[in-house]
Structure 1
Amino acid sequence: MAKRFLILFFTILFTALVLPLHAQRVITVRKSAAVNPTIAFPGVPQDAELSQAIQRFLAVCGWFDMPQNGKNADFTIQAEKKGNSLELHLYMGNSRVNGWRFNTSAGARECAKSVVDTIIEQVFEQLKVKGFCHSRIAFCAETNPGIRNIFLCDIDGGNVEQITAYRTLNVEPCWAPSGKTICFSKYGRTGIDIVETTVRTPRKSRIISSFRGINTGAAISPDGSSMAVILSPDHQVDLYVLGLQKRFRNRLTKGIAVEASPCWSPDGRQIAFVSDRRGNPRIFICNADGSNLTMLPSVGIDAVTPAWSADGKIAYATRPQRSGGYVLAVYNLNTKENEIVSKGEGSWESPGWAADNRQVVCKRTLNGKSSLWIVDTVTGRERELLRTGTELFDPSWSPCIKR
């Protein structure tokens, strides 16, 4: 299938998110979404740590390309540090377009995130991406044989932080829309519960679903009022919606088929989930009350672990052949087109959208070892996010919360 090249219009606005240095102007640039604008950053004089941090987040954010010699770049950043103040100027060609001041007292990484976030938010203002470099990725890692816990990392794979420390299986992390809490499935002696924990310390946890049998696949609705979940109170594995503010339990499916991996549409009116009601696992979509059930067109012999982007695309894992591994595919609900987006070797599973609606975090297994990767569904680029000495699973990208 020919790759669609969308056209993005991005505007550099001079309403600074931090202290503006100069009068406002507006410059409009037209570029193909398949080719990032280029940006050059010579560094911060006499501050190698801050220079490297800014260069790193410019490189991994996915929205700019950095030419090696910096020549003929669309944008250039000039920076000067005085004490705890970083003065930064953005140029487009030879034209100076904006400037800001940043406080560096929080450290090089935090300052670098703020710098790159500010540039993204100014250059790609129409995309309304706020605080992208401050978003985080939750995942689970095997800390001991038979034990998995929930961790967080930054978008460059750094700043790894352990969230749970249970001596059991803790899997399927799911972010609340607020970005302040994570839900996950916690295996116990008598069943599987859904637990919610705060991200920031001091951490507080509570059980939010503990019905008899399994409680798995938690997915919080976009407004935070309800949760799609897989339950088996009568030994049938079905899809339910639970009220989180007003208590209720609605059963959406019923039968011998096994359901799994629910996710919400951006408007909260529909739910996508996996079911084996047609034999091989496939993705189905229904209304939030269970009505109007349809099967999602997909490539491959099956389709699992759907993730729904804010602009109407569903990423999923599928096997082109029974004997092979999984690849990542994206179905565009607006154009009705399917596209395989992972190109590298190995098995690609468990996609999760970034808030920018173009990058997907996933698990990649190659030569028997798993690591976390990010796939840019626009440029087709793939980069390794995190590799450790343990197995990594179930990545989930946080929403972007405006700072």
Structure 2
Amino acid sequence: MSRRSRISVVATLTAGIIAPLALTTASALAAIAPNGQIAYVARGASTIPFGPTEQQDIWVMNPDGTGAVNLTDTTDIDEFSPVWSPDGSRIAFISDSFTRTLSVMNADGSGKTAIVSGALDPSWGPDGSQIAVMKEREGLAAAVVIVDLDTLAETVVTEHAAMEPVWSPDGSKIAFVDVRPRDLSGSEYR
């Protein structure tokens, strides 16, 4: 089974229209901005020291599939997991499969900034000033961590293995997948 996928259909919910998109590369991990623009990961040919592979870049396109632009266009570095800021002005993403660096760039691809390494599953806070991630920690289980984008301060949310954080609309809570072994009686849930 191939792990590749394509963004092949976008449904316009208000009009009930389904528009097929003609993309020429394998695409996945789509995120929709408040203005409807779509960020996605597309694979292209690349060569790294281990041999030929398919390198991943972050692309954006209009809701109708036109105007596709490669925002990262890096050689031999994978970028993946694009997530739009709440106001649509920036995109957070993970850069480099080895270091898993949380990075942020402007919606046009300018201003790329590395924030923190060892991260996956970025999720913007509702006010756009923080990003929650699953972060690897030396000698400890990966945890959900909140990164303040102004100070780069990190706040550990979970002391145990957790991933895929998602903020509540008001920013007061974060839901996540807890990967600890469970007591199936349900007695540990509040």
Mark yes or no: TM-score above 0.5: yes
SS in 2 for 1:271: strand
SS at match of 1:289: coil
- Cα offset, 1:324, TM superposition: 4.2
Shift of the 364–190 alpha-carbon distance from structure 1 to 2, 3 Å rule, reads: closer
Give the counterpart of 2:85 among 251, 265, 284. Answer: 265
C-alpha spacing 1:350/1:196, structure 2 compared with 1 (3 Å): farther
Task: Label 1:366 to 1:357 Cα distance change in 2 as closer, same or farther (>3 A).
Answer: same
* 1:253 positional shift: 1.2
After the TM superposition, which residues 236-275 of structure 1 pair with which residues of structure 2 at under 5 Å, given as runs? Answer: 236-245=55-64, 247-254=66-73, 255-275=75-95
2:162 to 348, 353, 368: 348
* 8 Å Cα contact 1:193-1:207 kept in structure 2: no
Task: Give the superposition deviation at 1:330.
Answer: 0.4
Aligned equivalents of 1:216 and 1:246: distance in 2? 14
Deviations 1:220-274 (A, max 9, x none): 00222x1110001443211100110472101011211111111111221111100
**TM-score, normalised by the number of residues in structure 1:** 0.38
CA contact (8 A) 1:227 1:243 kept: yes
* Cα distance in structure 1, aligned partners of 2:88 and 2:136: 29
1:55-66 matches, within 5 Å, as none
Matched-pair contact (CA < 8 Å) for 2:28–2:40: yes
Distance 1:303 1:207, change over 3 A: farther
CA–CA distance in 2 between the matches of 1:198 and 1:326? 37
State the secondary structure of the residue aligned to 1:326: strand
Alignment of 1:168-317 (within 5 A): 191-194=4-7, 195-196=9-10, 206=18, 209=21, 211-224=23-36, 226-234=37-45, 235-245=54-64, 247-254=66-73, 255-276=75-96, 279-296=98-115, 298=116, 302-311=118-127, 312-317=129-134
**Count of aligned pairs:** 172
Cα RMSD for the two superposed structures: 3.0
**TM-aligned CA distance change 1:348 to 1:293, over 3 Å:** same
Percent of aligned positions that are identical: 27
Residue aligned with 2:137, SS:
coil
Which structure's residues are more often helix, by fraction? Answer: 1
Q: Quick check: 1:241–1:252 contact (8 Å CA) kept in 2?
A: yes
Is there any run of 5+ residues in structure 1 with no aligned partner, and where?
Answer: 1-187, 370-381, 385-403
Q: Confirm or deny that 1:339 pairs with 2:155.
A: yes
Q: CA deviation at 1:281?
A: 0.7
Q: Is this contact kept in 2: 1:286–1:293, CA < 8 A? A: yes
AA at the equivalent of 1:281: R
* Residue equivalent to 2:136: 319
C-alpha distance in structure 2 between counterparts of 1:289 and 1:327, whole Å:
31
* Equivalent residue in structure 2 for 1:364, among 158, 173, 178: 178
| Corresponding position of 2:146 | 330
Residues 315 and 330 of structure 1 are in contact (CA less than 8 Å); yes or no, is this contact kept in structure 2? yes
More strand by share: 2
CA 353–247 in structure 1, closer or farther in 2 if over 3 Å, else same: same
Deviation at 1:212, TM superposition (A): 3.8
Question: Which one-letter code corresponds to 1:250 in the other structure?
Answer: V
